[in-house]
A and B are shown apart, each in its own frame.
Chain A
Amino acid sequence: MFTPGSKYFFGLTGLSLITAILYMFLVNPSDLGAVALLGLAASGALIGAMALFTRDGDVYTDEEAVAANAVGGSPSFWPIVFAFGAATVLTGLATVSAVFILGIAVLVGGGVEWTIQNWADGASSDHEFNKFARTRAISAIEFPGLAAVGLGVIAFFFSRIVLSVSKQSGPIIFIVVAAAILTVGVLIATKPFMKGTVTVVVAVLAVVTLATAGIIAAMSGERHELAVASAEDHYDAANRECGAEASAHYDHLANNTVSLRSAVTATIFVKDGKVYAEAIGMKTKVDTITISRSNAISVMFRNLDQEQHRLVVHLGSAKVAATGVVEKVGTCTQLTGKNQEQVMTLKIPKPAAANEPYSFTVPGATGEIKLVVP
């Protein structure tokens, strides 16, 4: 089994790997910190493997060592898996990151299996005991790992199915499948003496059905409106239309509620067709919002009217570098319905020119909120 020294270093390896993965997701995958953490993990794994191999320096007696090594190692395909992983990593480095990640997974999986296999083969001179030792050591890793992969596969295929069927059918399918799983699970649980083969057959059938449906769904593609949204990019600035009317692209898929609260410098409301604003700390309504230059601030827009409205900010005009044409500068939120809200984040580097003051308006409503950048 694992020696105390190897446990420590394998623990360090695991912790470093988890930290590295979190770091790569949360900070920056190409940051030096990620490289350092992965280096630490690799070093820990190397030293752990050495500690395991040498039994923390607690060497066999000569007789034990000779006897243990007299038993030939069992045939293993893990070196091939490990080599395949290494090749995939290199391919991934030259191609796409998904291949690289797959290669890392195969490399780590193959390496762990190979290490355990090698350790178990030299554990004793008893071949059967060695097999038992390997199973016992690796099961704690294999079962959760395979379960995670299995769940990932199920989630992937199921997501393909839900993305390809209509918006209304998705929840129904979800409920039916969940109810079927619950029913089958209850039936199996109430028959404790049922043969294990039946359970296996049921599970295999379910997985095959899911995989088949998933592959068919993936081949047929996402449903029409998702495909259109993906092709048009509703959130692209080019598709932003800031009038009173609904935009063909930009107003689709608006959330109409926002979680951003802490950075809101002011809230602009529209009610009974009139625009007004409130700012943090100001007891009365304000007709001017002041923000410092080059500072990212957010303004909340809340529609209290029956009709749909959007908030528009006018930021003067500027010459377009590529064409030399002077164009109006500004942006807007998406249309939002009654009691719904949108947030607009602005970073304005310069004060307004005297003849073109900055302002907020709501098309279709009266009133204007001045925007001042000192």
Chain B
Amino acid sequence: MDIVNNVKSSSHRIRNSIATIIGIIVLAGCARNAPQDTWQPRGHNASVINHLQWIIFPMAGVVGVLVFAFATYTFWKFKDRGQPIPSQSHGKPIVEIILTIIPALILTVVGVFTFRGIFELANTEDTQMVINVTGQQWWWEYDYPAQADQGITQPIITSGQLVIPVGTKILLRETSRDVIHSYWIPALNGKKDAVPGRINLLRLQADKPGLFAGQCTEFCGLSHANMRMEAIALSKEDFAKWVAGQQKAYTSPADGTLAKEGEGVFLNQCIRCHQVNGLKKADGTPALAAPDENVYAGAVPNLSHLMSRNTFAGAKFDLLNKSCRKDVWGASSDAIGSKYLAGVSESCLNQTDLRAWLRNAPAMKPMYSDPKKLGPSGGKYRGMPNLGLTETDIDKLVAYLLTLK
């Protein structure tokens, strides 16, 4: 009797669990605060996709329900109850013709809207701004070629966060340095693969200022799940301020400060891979990073103006602490520009994650950066190794990085 009760309660538990999981999945569809929801477009290109799915999903849903209902009815109605096998006949031309014409009509309707959407998304003729996007295990690099009509007189390079002006037709020229990645910010457009040796084009346009989250959607290795991106749309005035900030010349910290000592640590350690534009060595010559000598893909994030960004390590970690981040992400479209442009101050810095990263980066994000296991990559790292920095060095570096605005 106990065994029977146990079996019953076990099957009840399974049923309840399945019902709960289904319930959660269904309720998740109702979430309003879902930054990667394809049903909440925030720009023209994403709206084109959204309109298309509003046409196709209901049609597919109706067809799916009808097919399942008909199949279920058939299985139930004609299940084996010991009745004789009905007489067999070879097809019914009328039924076959109807069952060919109806799907053809449905697919024609779907096809018309789909092709219209595809051609609209593929249009790049009226591009107003170009940004090069390069994927690499496991972060995204953005470089803005000089474009006088956008106020960009010198190329800008940044990573993790794509900054764009609202209402501007942006053309991303995507490629990759190592393996295939896929760029996807659902609120602004669909996915586009970044393929080594090819340049793929993706258009983005944001209607209002805001922060939009994205995720690499092509499995690209160990830290694929940690390869995130964020797009920040700023008003044209704020974007101009951001451009001016990015084109600002490098200023070395004042002598005798902790930050100045941090610059020395940077020149001894970090410059092997990380570039800070304008940084000079003690002899006055430009300090040029050589990531090609140390990293498999030949590049690492350029840290010029690091503290103008809100994230680091492939947008996996926030440079802002929780309350400051909430302040930026929760800001209205009118206020987000000024909050974002304020950058990262000492009081807002997420010291915990940044220090932990500097202390032992591989412990924070899985990467192929164990010096003993670099055989397959010819002795080069895929990600930041543990540099063995002392706590004093970390203090100095944090102070220095805070000056990179």
B197 CB-CB contact with A under 8 Å:
yes
Is B173 in contact with A280, judged by CB distance below 8 angstroms? yes
* A279 and B199 contact, Cβ closer than 8 Å, known pairs A292-B299, A294-B298, A374-B302: no
Cβ-defined partner of B196 (8 Å) among A293, A296, A353: A296
> Which chain A residues (278-312) contact chain B, with CB distance < 8 Å?
279-283, 286, 288-297
* A295 and B130 contact, Cβ closer than 8 Å, known pairs A280-B173, A281-B173, A350-B290: no
Cβ-defined partner of A374 (8 Å) among B155, B173, B197, B199: B155
A262 CB-CB contact with B under 8 Å:
yes
A87 CB-CB contact with B under 8 Å:
no
> Which chain A residues (338-374) contact chain B, with CB distance < 8 Å?
347, 349-351, 353-354, 372, 374
Write out the residue numbers on chain A whose beta carbons fall within 8 Å of the beta carbon of B286: 353-354
Q: Mark A250-269, 1 if CB is under 8 A from B, else 0.
A: 00000000000011110000
> Which chain B residues (230-258) contact chain A, with CB distance < 8 Å?
none
Write out the residue numbers on chain B whose beta carbons fall within 8 Å of the beta carbon of A290: 132, 143, 145-146, 155
Write out the residue numbers on chain B whose beta carbons fall within 8 Å of the beta carbon of A292: 132, 134, 141, 143, 157, 299
Is B292 in contact with A294, judged by CB distance below 8 angstroms? yes
Is B198 in contact with A293, judged by CB distance below 8 angstroms? no
B204 CB-CB contact with A under 8 Å:
no
Is B171 in contact with A293, judged by CB distance below 8 angstroms? no
Complex Cα distance A372/B177, Å?
Answer: 18
**Please, how many residues of chain B have a CB less than 8 angstroms from a CB on the other chain?**
34
* A349 and B298 contact, Cβ closer than 8 Å, known pairs A262-B199, A290-B155, A374-B156: yes
Query: Considering only CB atoms, which chain A residue lies closest to B145 in the complex?
Result: A290
B333 CB-CB contact with A under 8 Å:
no
Write out the residue numbers on chain A whose beta carbons fall within 8 Å of the beta carbon of B198: 262-263
Cβ-defined partner of B130 (8 Å) among A282, A288, A353, A374: A282
Write out the residue numbers on chain A whose beta carbons fall within 8 Å of the beta carbon of B364: none
Cβ-defined partner of A263 (8 Å) among B132, B199, B288, B292: B199
> Which chain A residues (229-284) contact chain B, with CB distance < 8 Å?
262-265, 279-283
Query: Considering only CB atoms, which chain A residue lies closest to B148 in the complex?
Result: A284
Write out the residue numbers on chain A whose beta carbons fall within 8 Å of the beta carbon of B171: 280-281
Q: How many residue pairs, one in A and one in B, have C-beta atoms under 8 Å apart?
A: 85
Write out the residue numbers on chain A whose beta carbons fall within 8 Å of the beta carbon of B11: none
B297 CB-CB contact with A under 8 Å:
yes
Is A374 in contact with B292, judged by CB distance below 8 angstroms? no
Say how far B160's CB is from chain A's closest CB, in angstroms. Answer: 15
B291 CB-CB contact with A under 8 Å:
yes
Write out the residue numbers on chain B whose beta carbons fall within 8 Å of the beta carbon of A289: 145
B50 CB-CB contact with A under 8 Å:
no
Complex Cα distance A126/B288, Å?
Answer: 86
Is B177 in contact with A295, judged by CB distance below 8 angstroms? yes
Write out the residue numbers on chain A whose beta carbons fall within 8 Å of the beta carbon of B177: 294-295
Complex Cα distance A265/B199, Å?
Answer: 7
Complex Cα distance A281/B155, Å?
Answer: 16
Is B145 in contact with A279, judged by CB distance below 8 angstroms? yes
Write out the residue numbers on chain A whose beta carbons fall within 8 Å of the beta carbon of B157: 292, 374
Write out the residue numbers on chain A whose beta carbons fall within 8 Å of the beta carbon of B215: none
Is A295 in contact with B134, judged by CB distance below 8 angstroms? yes
Write out the residue numbers on chain B whose beta carbons fall within 8 Å of the beta carbon of A282: 130, 145, 147
* A280 and B298 contact, Cβ closer than 8 Å, known pairs A264-B199, A290-B143, A294-B291: no
B367 CB-CB contact with A under 8 Å:
no
Is A351 in contact with B145, judged by CB distance below 8 angstroms? no
Is A279 in contact with B130, judged by CB distance below 8 angstroms? yes
B324 CB-CB contact with A under 8 Å:
no
Q: For the complex, would chain A's binding face be called helix, strand, loop or mixed by DSSP majority? A: loop
> Which chain B residues (80-130) contact chain A, with CB distance < 8 Å?
124, 127, 130
Q: Mark B132-144, 1 if CB is under 8 A from A, else 0.
A: 1010000001010
B161 CB-CB contact with A under 8 Å:
no
What is the size category of the interface that chain A forms with chain B?
A: 20 to 34
Is B292 in contact with A349, judged by CB distance below 8 angstroms? yes
Complex Cα distance A280/B288, Å?
Answer: 29
Complex Cα distance A349/B291, Å?
Answer: 8
B275 CB-CB contact with A under 8 Å:
yes
Say how far A372's CB is from chain B's closest CB, in angstroms. Answer: 5
Q: Mark B180-193, 1 if CB is under 8 A from A, else 0.
A: 00000000000000
Say how far A346's CB is from chain B's closest CB, in angstroms. Answer: 12
Cβ-defined partner of B297 (8 Å) among A279, A294, A353: A294
Say how far B4's CB is from chain A's closest CB, in angstroms. Answer: 46
Query: Considering only CB atoms, which chain B residue lies closest to A296 in the complex?
Result: B197
Write out the residue numbers on chain A whose beta carbons fall within 8 Å of the beta carbon of B143: 290, 292, 374
Query: Considering only CB atoms, which chain B residue lies closest to A350 in the complex?
Result: B288
B205 CB-CB contact with A under 8 Å:
no
Say how far B138's CB is from chain A's closest CB, in angstroms. Answer: 16
Is B201 in contact with A281, judged by CB distance below 8 angstroms? yes
Say how far B142's CB is from chain A's closest CB, in angstroms. Answer: 9
Write out the residue numbers on chain B whose beta carbons fall within 8 Å of the beta carbon of A283: 127
Query: Considering only CB atoms, which chain A residue lies closest to B203 in the complex?
Result: A281
Write out the residue numbers on chain B whose beta carbons fall within 8 Å of the beta carbon of A296: 196-197
Say how far B403's CB is from chain A's closest CB, in angstroms. Answer: 20
Say how far B252's CB is from chain A's closest CB, in angstroms. Answer: 17
Is A280 in contact with B145, judged by CB distance below 8 angstroms? no
Query: Considering only CB atoms, which chain A residue lies closest to B293 in the complex?
Result: A349
Complex Cα distance A292/B157, Å?
Answer: 9
Write out the residue numbers on chain A whose beta carbons fall within 8 Å of the beta carbon of B288: 350-351, 353
B308 CB-CB contact with A under 8 Å:
no
Residue from A289, A290, A294, A374 whose CB has the most chain B CB atoms within 10 Å: A374
B175 CB-CB contact with A under 8 Å:
yes
Say how far A340's CB is from chain B's closest CB, in angstroms. Answer: 23
* A281 and B127 contact, Cβ closer than 8 Å, known pairs A295-B177, A296-B197: yes
Query: Considering only CB atoms, which chain B residue lies closest to A287 in the complex?
Result: B146
Complex Cα distance A262/B175, Å?
Answer: 11
Is B127 in contact with A293, judged by CB distance below 8 angstroms? no
Is A281 in contact with B124, judged by CB distance below 8 angstroms? yes
Cβ-defined partner of B146 (8 Å) among A265, A288, A350, A354: A288
Is A280 in contact with B299, judged by CB distance below 8 angstroms? no
Say how far B87's CB is from chain A's closest CB, in angstroms. Answer: 33
Q: Mark B332-345, 1 if CB is under 8 A from A, else 0.
A: 00000000000000
Query: Considering only CB atoms, which chain B residue lies closest to A373 in the complex?
Result: B155
**A262-B198, A294-B299 known; 18 other A-B pairs, CB under 8 Å?**
A263-B175, A265-B173, A281-B201, A282-B145, A282-B147, A286-B145, A290-B132, A291-B132, A292-B157, A293-B298, A295-B177, A295-B299, A350-B288, A350-B289, A351-B288, A372-B146, A374-B155, A374-B157
26 contacts between A and B (CB under 8 A): A262-B198, A262-B199, A263-B175, A265-B173, A279-B130, A280-B130, A280-B173, A281-B124, A281-B201, A282-B130, A283-B127, A286-B145, A288-B145, A290-B155, A292-B141, A293-B291, A293-B292, A294-B177, A294-B297, A296-B197, A349-B292, A350-B289, A350-B290, A350-B292, A372-B155, A374-B156
Closest 8 CB pairs of A and B: A294-B298, A349-B292, A290-B145, A374-B157, A281-B130, A281-B171, A294-B299, A374-B155
